[in-house]
Amino acid sequence: MSAPLLNLPKFSVYYGPVQAIHGIALEVAEGEIVTVIGPNGAGKTTLLNAIMGLLPSQGGLTLGGDTIARPTVEAMVRRGVALVPEKRELFGEMSVGDNLLLGGFALWRRGQRDQAARMKEIFAIFPRLEERRAQMASTLSGGERQMLAIGRALMSRPKLLMLDEPSLGLAPLIVREVLNIVSALRKTGVSVLLVEQNARAALNVADRGYVLEMGEVAVQGPAQTLMHDQRVIDTYLGVG
């Protein structure tokens, strides 16, 4: 088997003296959708931010087989990692099209002057964004905003897309729509690391999952196995 796209052998993150992530091991294979589920405060956002280089971490990681001892945002973006943060962080007073163009800045920096072509590909994934191309981002619905945030991240042609709680604040039907699109991204060769509190929705689209509790991996395995794990059912899936 080839080396995983992303591999954390023993990853730790501290906030001052407080350890938020306790030497966890995690990997994402090429073309895989991996989810990290767990309760509030388990460290899910911390994990993504530290992988992206937004927070200092220990233990290092490998990306495409290359060792990165201390990830920085610049290095991670350059190597094809994109993060969609929980708050979406769109430019509300700018149009949908301009928000996408800003996401293509990394392409432009790499000398790829084909933002327009890339935008067409994004519109093929999210037809709704094309319809609303000239509309101000702040006037979009919650689901459309999430689609724009994902579309903007995809503009840089990432190999690994990291999503922080894309379902947050969305109605169940819209959650399904957004996650179906995430699932379809696999066909375009993008790997996904998906952080979710909505365990059922996340396990439905993921290949594998990790349950994070208090900064440690409590359970991990294929998504279908986790769906039938009694402890996961009792704690995260409930009845239904």
Footprint on this chain of ligand ATP (rule: CB under 6 A): 15, 18, 20, 38, 40-46, 197
Q: How many residues does the chain have?
A: 240
Tokens of 77: 């973006």
Give the nearest distance from C-beta 53 to ligand ATP in angstroms. Answer: 15
Q: Which is nearer to ligand ATP, 115 or 167 (CB)?
A: 167
Tokens of 9: 């052998």
Give the nearest distance from C-beta 119 to ligand ATP in angstroms. Answer: 31
Give the nearest distance from C-beta 233 to ligand ATP in angstroms. Answer: 20
CB atoms closer than 10 angstroms to residue 211: 23
Q: Which is nearer to ligand ATP, 11 or 123 (CB)?
A: 11
Q: Which is nearer to ligand ATP, 107 or 179 (CB)?
A: 179
- Return all residues near 37 (Cβ < 8 A) that are at least 6 apart: 44, 195, 196, 197, 199, 202, 203, 209, 210, 211, 212, 236
Dist. CA 41–CA 199, nearest whole Å: 15
Give the nearest distance from C-beta 120 to ligand ATP in angstroms. Answer: 34
For residue 47, count CB atoms less than 10 angstroms from its CB and return exposed for 0-12, middle for 13-18, buried for 19 or more.
buried
Q: Which is nearer to ligand ATP, 18 or 116 (CB)?
A: 18
